Structure 1
């Protein structure tokens, strides 16, 4: 089970309680949300530090990336399949392929919280939202949203390359809570999956608040625009 960190609706982030296992979450994602899941790398301890199981000391996402190039063939929506895979390596990251049951829109954390507040004021539909320990927020949208996002951003008057708004669809994946990324900490839910947000929004319903928030982030002093 999860408890919530934060005192306002906008800042609520569930926290994993002691005893919860990655396997439990992988099975719940498959059973309750019908999301495909697959296991990734994991963290190994040594010399007082934690290292990615891939063996790369400069790993960009230690303990939170795919273990092989054909990861797409590992993904399963079967709870029994998830139990089998995490039974072999209980510490493996929980990874979710995008472009199947959902796409994602990935923005800076500050822009994400600003967009959440605006979405709630406007009473716009909202699906689950992930908060990552490297200060990103990931909004789940209907499949196909990633492909539409650049044109939607242009329709709002922005050049897609000028905003730190990253759409991901077919061929990509994300790390799901409670996966830990190196020494940064766990991936968490900013808006956890519930029966009420089972039906995901279309990217078109979120793109204006997200683009506006990313534009505000871009204009802050000291912020470097994305390439």
Structure 2
């Protein structure tokens, strides 16, 4: 159990959470980009995630009982999710956080994949934009990307990382950049296209589907 107990009270009664340090832009795009730490969900971030559910208070009740519980949430209204192999996903993040880049929203890791939370509607627009760029041609090291939007659902990680010293569970997702505010700024299709194309152009080695 986490040392940060989850508080299920309505947001208007909650104290303002202490913000985590803002992510520092990467000095140069690189596959070795590392996210800021610690990656745990604030109370405001939990409100944002729960708002995607049909009955948000049921999600809050689940987390109040067990903050380490993963939850399945629908996409399409509060967020979409772009799913990339881990290595290529980190290259996308390096571009998003490069000087002059737009930054990213929350990001999770799960089973060798990176889940980039994006603005609603991104899952519908991005595939067409990538097709225009001839994404995935044989002469490119650009892996297929999975786009989850309306009608899809994703498993979001627990609110907090596993306690130190506990046995990690490979199947459990974890936050690389956790939700911290009630209305996070999410990249849209154009920003992700920009980052994906530049990540692919900078790639000199083939990327396997496992990341």
User: What TM-score do the two structures reach when normalised by structure 2?
Assistant: 0.62
TM-superposed deviation, 1:143: 0.8
Q: Partner of 1:176 in structure 2?
A: 156
Equivalent residue for 1:12, pick from 32, 35, 40: 35
Q: Report the CA distance shift for 1:214/1:170 in structure 2 as closer, same or farther (over 3 A).
A: farther
Q: CA RMSD in A?
A: 4.0
Aligned pair count reads 175
SS in 1 for 2:107: strand
Equivalent residue for 1:140, pick from 117, 121, 124: 117
Q: Report the CA distance shift for 1:76/1:14 in structure 2 as closer, same or farther (over 3 A).
A: farther
- Contact persistence 2:47–2:182 (CA under 8 A): no
Equivalent residue for 1:97, pick from 32, 52, 74: 74
Q: As a proportion of its length, which structure holds more strand?
A: 1
Q: Partner of 1:202 in structure 2?
A: 188
Q: Report the CA distance shift for 1:198/1:175 in structure 2 as closer, same or farther (over 3 A).
A: same
Q: Partner of 1:186 in structure 2?
A: 172
User: What TM-score do the two structures reach when normalised by structure 1?
Assistant: 0.59
Q: As a proportion of its length, which structure holds more helix?
A: 1
Q: Which has the higher contact order (CA 8 A, sep 6+)?
A: 2
- Contact persistence 1:127–1:193 (CA under 8 A): no
Unaligned runs of 5+ in 2: 5-18, 27-32, 163-167
Q: Report the CA distance shift for 1:183/1:31 in structure 2 as closer, same or farther (over 3 A).
A: closer
